[in-house]
Amino acid sequence: MTTRHTGASAPTTVRELAIEGAFEFTPTVYPDRRGLFVTTYQRPRFTEATGHVFPVFQTCQSHSRRGVVRGVHYTATPPGMAKHVYCGRGRALDFVVDLRVGSPTFGRWDTVQLDQEHFRSTYLPVGVGHVFVALEDDTTMVYLMSGPYVAENELAVSPLDPALGLPVTLDGVEPVLSERDVAAPTLAQALEAGLLPDYEACRALEAAL
């Protein structure tokens, strides 16, 4: 007999990350002889944790080979953007970086391992930066986004900034970055240039989601 599961029956545990407003969600995975079933996003559980609904505007996904580093990416604020990210295949070390000027945790980061076994996800509130390093070939990351992708609004800070100290370089593997990420400013340079989002403005936009 095959057990049938619905999204409503799949409990999810929540952990608040070290960055204010960022969360890790760990769903219950139901394996059986066919494979598995998992609910990667639960609106009631998300709303209970964050205090608001996540308004999904679009979903995207990326495929990366081992050693690929994508980030530290963020959206100019306003308009700002929140993201809900999980790994559908492979394994990645996912980082949440606080880029919000005036935040009590400005310049700090926290990390979660995302994989196809536990299907954890991270929630990045408005103004928070995102970067990950693929730990396996054919790692697929799925993004739920609260707004549209507009190229001129998408900004980056260098993931190799020594002041941040992000452990994104794998042993024996040269990190693979896009030209955009290679040329990205350090956190200090972005701050001096006025490119980073304001904490209070981010909180106001977050509350309006």
Q: Report the distance separating Cα 193 and Cα 75, nearest Å.
A: 15
Catalytically annotated residues: 73, 143
Extents of the domains making up the chain: 56-207
Q: What are phi and psi of 141, to 5 degrees?
A: -110, 135
- The pLDDT value given to residue 2: 42
In terms of Cα–Cα distance, which of 94, 87, 88 is closest to 69? Answer: 94
> What is the residue-level pLDDT of the chain in tens, covering all 209 positions?
344 444 445 579 999 999 999 999 999 999 999 999 999 999 999 999 999 999 999 999 999 999 999 999 999 999 999 999 999 999 999 999 999 999 999 999 999 999 999 999 999 999 999 999 999 999 999 999 999 999 999 999 999 999 999 999 999 999 999 999 999 999 999 999 999 999 999 999 999 98
Domain 56-207 has CATH 1.10.220.10: no
